[in-house]
Amino acid sequence: MALAQRLDLRQAQTLVMTPQLQQAIKLLQLSNIELSDFVDREIEQNPLLERDGGPADGGSDPAGPADGGDAPGGLDGPGGMEANGLSADGLNGRDDGPALGPSDGRTRDTVEMTSSDTMTSSSESPLDTDFENVYGDDRFSDGSDGGSEVYGSYGERGGRSGFEDDDSNLEATLTSEKNLRDHLTEQLKIDLPDLGDQLIGLALIDMLDEAGWLVGFDAQALAEQLGCGAERVERVLAACQRFDPPGIFARSLKECLAIQLREKNRLDPAMAALLDNLELLAARNLPAIMKVCGVDAEDVADMVVDIRKLNPKPALAFDHTPAQLVTPDILMRANPGGGWLIDLNPDTLPRVLVNHRYFARISDSARNKADKEYISERFQSANWLVKSLHQRATTILKVASEIIRQQDAFFIHGVSHLRPLILRDIAEAIGMHESTVSRVTTNKFMATQRGVFELKYFFTSAIQGADGQASHSAEAVRHRIKTMIDAEKPEDVLSDDKLVEILRAEGIDIARRTVAKYREAMKIPSSVQRRRAKMSRM
């Protein structure tokens, strides 16, 4: 068989993920805060992009497309869109709701919803269809139509021209809370004047975990590391266990509680016996506790009260890390005329423009091919980013609108009316792929009249109804189980079998092991433990 070279023509269909489409998909799964950081990086790299610091003047289109087409040009307005054609007047195709604010000649990215309406598409091309990646030959148009005004310098806009006039003292604005290490180091220097003991104490401080415990502590290993005796390490550890806050430097829960009880002079033999059998206290086995400690029920109740006043994680009192608040990406509110109104959060949505006037100026001054190619590439990238931002906003509103429509009963009546929902239900309703819906609902939060929820919260599995009835949401069933357990009486504690019987009478076909799984996931004790706890409080 002879080997030879030849040319063949072959035709095949392939799916190519262009860089532009990859960017659009990436933007879709970012939250508004992450999107703002991404836009900031793009503005640093692209001289044709700029932030829109306020409302544009009427009659101008500062972010219009270069070719005068219908591509969106920027993000502005109450929800972050301006002059981009994004307007969902209502799910029934009409605007019968009240005005949302003073008219400024711009469209809003607001969806007005009613429970029975159907949504009309607010964009002609959904995100999971390919964008057209072919740009016209007029890429170097003069941009005179609707070009944005070039801003002046910072000083010309009323800002300071330098730092000479800044009389504020930056150091005066700095403040910090005393952390646990500093608090313990101060006590160490006072109680242990010997420098060798201080060195051992600093090593012990460095070994503390976030709760203030010495988990897995080995005195012999630390002694070998520091070149001293294990007895000296134990002596320094005993001195450190007297530091504030009480319970610090404990090696176990038992020791942590014992240190605090010794501080309060409550570590008697009966209490020590109770600390040796904390598993009985966790199981609320009152008869066994009375037998081990040699006391009556009244004494056990007093001992339990003393233990509940203790802090098992003393170091957390010095944890000054502020809680991270969730910033919603979508704002939902009731429409006075009925239904719901949905907006993208204007406080976190980036507002970006393409400076066409600056593009026209530098494109006219470009002399060589490399400069022209760079300017063209930056201009195409800027336009594509604006278009992707517009498409992202449209897609998020579509998905959020359909979620609210599907879960309308939840927003009206509460979690007990949450219905089963999967990604496919939303995807089929809005004509998009499940992967697109999954990206939209990832790390996106919606502020509602019932609180702030992640969009993923509204997707729950289904539990079959009894006798062929409609299925029920797993989240609603869990809520029903918790409600029944919270309302039970001490003399009539509901077992898992009894819960199954009640749920089936309500039309919910559920197995006993499923009830037990839901109960354990909500950290609810068994019926025996709950009965002991309720009887002990009587």
Quote the CA–CA distance of 2 and 118 in Å, as a whole number: 67
Quote the CA–CA distance of 364 and 358 in Å, as a whole number: 10
Name the residue with tokens 């037990």.
516
pLDDT number for residue 399: 94
pLDDT tens track of the chain, all 538 residues?
A: 678 888 888 888 877 777 777 878 888 888 888 888 899 999 999 999 988 765 433 333 444 433 433 333 333 333 333 333 333 333 333 333 333 333 343 334 555 555 444 333 334 444 444 444 433 444 334 444 444 333 333 333 334 444 444 444 544 454 556 788 888 999 998 998 888 888 899 999 989 988 889 988 888 999 888 888 889 999 999 999 999 889 999 999 999 999 999 998 888 999 999 999 888 888 888 888 888 898 888 888 888 889 988 999 998 887 656 667 788 999 999 988 888 999 998 888 888 889 999 999 998 888 888 888 999 999 999 999 999 999 999 999 999 999 999 999 889 888 888 888 889 999 999 999 999 999 999 889 999 988 899 999 999 877 777 665 667 788 888 888 998 998 888 788 888 888 988 888 888 888 889 888 989 888 888 888 888 777 766 5
The Cβ of residue 46 has, within 10 Å, a number of other Cβ atoms equal to 18
266: its two tokens? 């409550």
Which residue in 182, 134, 187, 44 sits closest to 383, CA to CA? 134
Alpha helices (H) along 62-192: 180-191
Measured CA to CA in angstroms, residue 74 lies from 55, 109, 353, 357, 502 at distances of 12, 12, 5, 15, 56
The Cβ of residue 104 has, within 10 Å, a number of other Cβ atoms equal to 12
Which residue in 504, 498, 495, 499 sits closest to 472, CA to CA? 504
Quote the CA–CA distance of 50 and 451 in Å, as a whole number: 35
Name the residue with tokens 């950081």.
37
Q: How many residues does the chain have?
A: 538
| E strand or H helix that includes residue 438 | helix 434-440
Q: Give the type of residue at 517.
A: K
Which residue in 392, 430, 397, 383 sits closest to 26, CA to CA? 392
Quote the CA–CA distance of 258 and 202 in Å, as a whole number: 23
409: its two tokens? 């009963």
pLDDT number for residue 396: 92
Quote the CA–CA distance of 514 and 36 in Å, as a whole number: 43
pTM of the predicted model as reported, rounded to 2 decimal places: 0.57
**What's the half-sphere exposure (Cβ side, CA atoms, 13 Å) at 209?**
11
Q: In this structure, are residues 343 and 330 in contact, taking their beta carbons and an 8 Å threshold?
A: yes
Q: What end-to-end distance do the CA atoms of the chain give, in Å?
A: 97
pLDDT number for residue 257: 93
pLDDT number for residue 469: 62
The DSSP letter of residue 52 is -
239: its two tokens? 């001195």
Give me the residues paired with residue 63 across strands: 147
The Cβ of residue 463 has, within 10 Å, a number of other Cβ atoms equal to 20
pLDDT number for residue 466: 63
pLDDT number for residue 98: 35
Alpha helices (H) along 192-240: 195-206, 219-226, 230-240
The Cβ of residue 434 has, within 10 Å, a number of other Cβ atoms equal to 15
Quote the CA–CA distance of 367 and 94 in Å, as a whole number: 52
Angle between helices 369-406 and 32-45 (to 10 degrees): 170
The Cβ of residue 127 has, within 10 Å, a number of other Cβ atoms equal to 23
Name the residue with tokens 């330098």.
162
Name the residue with tokens 């469209």.
107
Burial (CB count <10 Å: 0-12, 13-18, 19+), residue 232:
middle
Which phi and psi (to 5°) does residue 148 adopt?
-80, 145
Its sign, for the CA torsion 85, 91, 96, 100, is negative
